Amino acid sequence: MKKLWFVQRSVPKLLTTAKNKTPPERGLEVDNAPDGENMTDTYYRARMQIMNELLSFCMIRSKDWKEDRKPIPGDLVSLDSAPATKWYVSWVVETELNKGDWHRYLLQSIEDYELCWWENVGIEVYNPQRVREMPSWRWTDRQFKFVDKWNRVAYKDNDAYIVLPGKIDFDGNSVILDIRERYGAGHDNPFHYSETFKWKKATKAELDAFYKRGCQEREKWIELRKQKASA
């Protein structure tokens, strides 16, 4: 285990990084990485999205930082009254209550996803609802690269306008892709169509076929609505 010394509120403290809980998929530039199931990854683009959110109009958005409850696993947090380290903004992985009602937190840095236990520091929790709305903040760079490929298939190869890429839900090696009808297309209950893929293996041809199936399913859906309306 790596040990880091620092001075917190004039009291020497010891931080221990959790090397035995090394997170998966970090440490290799995605653009230079070989294809394959076992490649590692980085999280630069997720970090850029997070920091863009936190640094844009930061005084206006200060209301999004909550101090009315203790952090729980899954929270995005910022350290306060702490030294400058790469855990300045982190994900909460685990919490413990020590003797004397001291809380300590296992935090995962958004910089490189390294884990470290912290205690005797201030922690502010970012708006949990906003975090739930931004699943891409937990994507790896390789997942972003897959999404780029999917968007190119839809927007560049198929000139998507009415039928658009929708929600993307990664779960391990699988991803659920959703196709939706453009909002305001004239239907009270817009069209959706989903399929599951192995995102590390999915080809452009497979994604193109999926998009075209979605368009065909929308035509069937429109025809069915017309039949029901005229019945």
Same domain as 197, residue 111: no
Minimal CA–CA distance to 70: which of 95, 53, 41? Answer: 95
> Which pLDDT score is estimated for 82?
87
Q: How confident is the model at residue 215 (pLDDT cuts 50, 70, 90)?
A: very high
CA 225 to chain centre: 36
> Which pLDDT score is estimated for 56?
64
Flag whether pLDDT at 164 surpasses 60: yes
Same domain as 148, residue 129: no
The range of the structural domain enclosing residue 223 comes to 140-230
Same domain as 126, residue 21: yes
* 6, β-bridge pairs: 13
For the stretch 209-212, contacts whose Cβ atoms lie closer than 8 Å and that sit 24 or more positions apart, written own/partner, are 210/177, 210/179, 211/153, 211/154, 211/158, 211/160, 211/163, 211/179, 212/158
Same domain as 150, residue 117: no
CA 43, 45, 46 angle in degrees (round to 5)? Answer: 65
Among residues 100, 135, 170, the one where a domain terminates is 135
Same domain as 120, residue 214: no
How far, in Å, are 119, 139, 219 from residue 116 at the CA level? 10, 20, 53
Q: What is the dihedral of CA 126, 170, 145, 136, to 10 degrees?
A: -10
Q: How many domains does the chain have?
A: 2
pTM: 0.76
> Residue 148: which residues within 8 A CB-CB, separation 6 or more?
none
Same domain as 186, residue 89: no
Same domain as 108, residue 151: no
Does residue 63 or residue 15 have the better pLDDT?
63
Among residues 114, 135, 156, the one where a domain terminates is 135
> The domain spanning residue 205 has which CATH number?
3.30.160
Provide the 3-class DSSP secondary structure of residue 204: helix
The CA distance from 210 to 173, in Å, is 18
Same domain as 128, residue 36: yes
Mean pLDDT confidence for 207-231: 91
Q: How confident is the model at residue 204 (pLDDT cuts 50, 70, 90)?
A: very high
Same domain as 187, residue 102: no
Minimal CA–CA distance to 193: which of 171, 170, 172, 164? Answer: 164
> Which pLDDT score is estimated for 182?
86
Same domain as 164, residue 149: yes
Among residues 135, 156, 181, the one where a domain terminates is 135
Same domain as 9, residue 63: yes
Same domain as 34, residue 86: yes
The CA distance from 21 to 151, in Å, is 34
On whether the CB atoms of residues 110 and 118 are closer than 8 A, the answer is: no
